[in-house]
Structure 1
Amino acid sequence: MRSLGLLLLCLLQFSCSSQNESKINGVSFVANPDRANQSHVNPVLDIGANYAAVMPFGFVRNLQDPGVIFDTDRQWFGETKVGAKQYIEILKKNGIQIMVKPQIWVWRGEFTGDLLMNSEDDWVKFENSYEKFILTYARLAQETNAEIYCIGTELEEFVKHRPEFWHKLIGEVRKIYSGQLTYAANWDEYKRTPFWEDMDFIGVDAYFPLSEMREPSVDDMKKGWQKWKTALKELSNTTDKPILFTEFGYRSMDYTAKKPWLVDRNEMAVNLQSQADALKVTFEEFWKEDWFAGGFVWKWFIHHEDSGGVEDNRFTPQNKPAQEVLKKAFSEFN
């Protein structure tokens, strides 16, 4: 009888530990004009993050321009190769694992998913430019032993019109980089991404609309997640690949769950509780699922003391109730 009791206790402990298995608890570590130092990393450690996305940038003049400009002396330090390397090194020194996630910024903030060239010649020029951009940072990811490399972010028209290029690009990246690969598909794009079989994670920027309400309840947002969650699980099962939220987050404002992707400068009323509740719901819905790898909260600034705060209606959870939600969830699944 005593041995049976011990067996049941072991099974219970195994069950609990499998539910709370380690996840990717990441922050999107925003590029800055300054070098990162230990005081910038300590707040990341304090919330218990075990991953950071380091995001060097390339720039495109408009949605039809066939050139990616990157790693220039006109960029902020953290947006360049030298800066990204310095960020990676100090984060890794503190035991934080890395996803290198080079991204494109289109002048005036136009949506990268709409990048669309006007001719075959322009497509070839753009492909050559983008490949140089991505292979440059693939080499950096390899050099710094980054755990994950993201080959693109929200580039639906580019992916849709040039699928052969993407398959070739993945092959070239694999020759350089030996870690795990993903692509950050927008929330309304990921079902049409044609190369998930070549990735290690199905990357999704998870700005799914959950509720039309000004101040949605936890139950409202849980209900809002169900159709999206079912579709994500089905794709994971079909491809035998885990889902990774390459970005997730909510603004601290009214209607935060209506259009979570909004990056405009609107003056919507600050709503700290809705942001905290939306993050709490996301953790409760996904972090216990074995088909789900984790995610990177959008976004985390290096000057912590000057970031976010109770009058800020932007995405960062810093110095808001949402920060405590992160800390609690990260500690549970670390």
Structure 2
Amino acid sequence: MRYFLQFLLVFVLVGCAAVPFKPVKFNGVSFVAARDAVDTTHVNPVVNVGANSAAIMPFGFIRNLDNPTIVHNTNRQWYGETRAGAKQYIEELRKAKIKIMVKPQLWITHGFFTGFLEMKTETNWKLLESSYSDFILEYAELAEEVNAEIFCIGTELENFIKHRPEYWNGLIVKIKNIYKGKLTYAANWDEYKRTPFWEQLDYIGIDAYFPVSDKQTPTVEDCLKGWEKHKPVIQEFSEQLNRPILFTEYGYRSVDFSGREPWVSDHTMRDVNLEAQVNTTKALFETFWKEDWFAGGFVWKWFHKHDKVGGAENPMFTPQNKPVEKVIQSYYTQYN
């Protein structure tokens, strides 16, 4: 009997060694809020690309960088930007067994960077804190209601966090009293090392717009080399805090120099380069998706009317109806 058990143990160990471990990832899309409701025809392309998760992004709006009032969940917003719309999107995606990250976001008029949001008086700081709490706790309630796998407590709000750390510590406690799932925060690619509250969350969330190549049409090899200065720092940070890395956003535009400043989203870059988008995306997958300390990510961005967006002449982020869509599908299928 003893020898049989020893043989069985060896057989199991050898058998396990023969099959490489492939950790399950959040193979996600950032599902853009729209004017109208969605149905199965809008969800099917998400399934077809191999995605197993989606970020749902209700919005709050601020007039300028020092205005403390967040307008949210009103009948003046697009349906998908409201609580009711977000819930309807989630319900449709759930029918296809898609996991959910609820990721409320702020939009500042004229597209000002949210990381620069900063009040000039204590009174306005207090007003902003109250307004942000109303906004984020409403969607924490939604996340709990729909049993979302992840709730993102904010996106790229470095100055707000830097100047009001005690508020954020208290806010996280309030969120945990409402929502019982996993928490993250979406830090900008150059912000995450300064974010002070990772140990209170479950994932280190990064909007992964790291520069990886200055070339007009970078090769996969160029971009892999570009990641060599970023990846060890990210991995060390993950291991230091004992938290997996989650790319709360990732992606590249289909333009020349797509790996140089991947965060640029304005319309000054118009020269379409589909190959650059393919190569930068392949390199990102090759660098991270096989790592056990990496939890996956949500590609930026995915529109509900799949047949009417993207395409060979589109210079923006969406991978839809471009060669890079097949790249994403191949990796998502491999790690699903």
TM-score over 0.5 (shorter chain): yes
What is the letter of the counterpart of residue 244 of structure 1? L
1:250 aligns with 2:255: no
1:110 is matched with: 112
SS at match of 2:249: strand
Partner Cα separation in structure 2 for residue 164 and residue 36 of structure 1: 39
Partner residue in 1 for 2:176: 174
Q: Tell me the distance in 2 between the aligned counterparts of 1:250 and 1:320.
A: 12
- Which SS does the other structure have where 2:199 is aligned? helix
Work out the CA distance in 2 between the residues paired with 1:8 and 1:100.
Answer: 40
Secondary structure of 2:169's match?
helix
1:79-94 alignment, distance < 5 Å: 79-94=81-96
Structure 1 CA distance for aligned equivalents of residues 104 and 316 of structure 2: 22
**Which residue among 184, 203, 206 is the counterpart of 2:208?**
206
Identity in percent: 55
- Map residues 1-334 of structure 1 onto 2, 5 A cutoff: 6=11, 9-14=14-19, 16=20, 18=21, 20-334=22-336
State the alpha-carbon separation in 1 of the partners of residues 315 and 261 from structure 2.
14
CA distance in 2, matches of 1:277, 1:213: 12
Structure 2: segments with no counterpart, 5+ residues: 1-6
Deviation at 1:178, TM superposition (A): 0.3
Following TM superposition, the consecutive aligned residue runs of length 4 or more in structure 1 with deviations greater than 6 angstroms are none
Distance in 1 between residues matched to 2:208 and 2:60, nearest whole Å: 22
C-alpha spacing 1:100/1:8, structure 2 compared with 1 (3 Å): closer
Alignment deviations for residues 222-275 of structure 1 (CA, whole Å, 9 cap, x no partner): 010111111110110110000000000000010000000001012431111110
In the alignment, the residues of structure 1 paired with residue 334 and residue 122 of structure 2 have an alpha-carbon distance, to the nearest angstrom, of: 51
Tell me the distance in 2 between the aligned counterparts of 1:8 and 1:132.
53
**Offset at residue 332 of structure 1 (A):** 0.4
Structure 2 Cα separation of the partners of residues 234 and 268 of structure 1: 37
| Separation in 2, partners of 1:8, 1:80 | 51
**Number of residues paired by the alignment?**
329
Q: Take 2:90 and 2:147, find their aligned partners in 1: how far apart are those partners?
A: 9
Give, as a single letter, the amino acid of the residue that structure 2 aligns with 1:13.
A
> Residue 94 of structure 1: CA displacement?
1.0
Q: CA deviation at 1:21?
A: 1.9
Cα deviation for residue 8 of structure 1 reads 6.7
Q: TM-score, normalised by structure 2?
A: 0.96
1:267 and 1:241 map into 2 onto residues whose CA distance is 36
SS at match of 1:214: coil
Q: RMSD in angstroms over aligned alpha carbons?
A: 1.2
User: What is the deviation of 1:109?
Assistant: 0.3
- Give distance in 2, aligned partners of 1:11 and 1:116: 53
TM-score normalized by structure 1?
0.97
- 2:249 counterpart letter in structure 1: E
Match for 1:331: what amino acid? Answer: T
CA deviation string 1:10-48 (max 9, x = no partner)? 03334x1x1x22111000000000101100000000011
Q: After TM superposition, give the deviation of residue 311 of structure 1 in Å.
A: 0.2
How far, CA to CA, are the matches of 1:6 and 1:171 in structure 2? 48
Q: Hey, what's the Cα distance between the residues in 2 that align with 1:274 and 1:167?
A: 41
2:4 counterpart residue number: none
Q: Secondary structure at the match of 2:175?
A: helix
SS in 1 for 2:230: helix
Paired residue type of 1:10: G
Partner Cα separation in structure 2 for residue 147 and residue 285 of structure 1:
25
SS at match of 1:121: helix
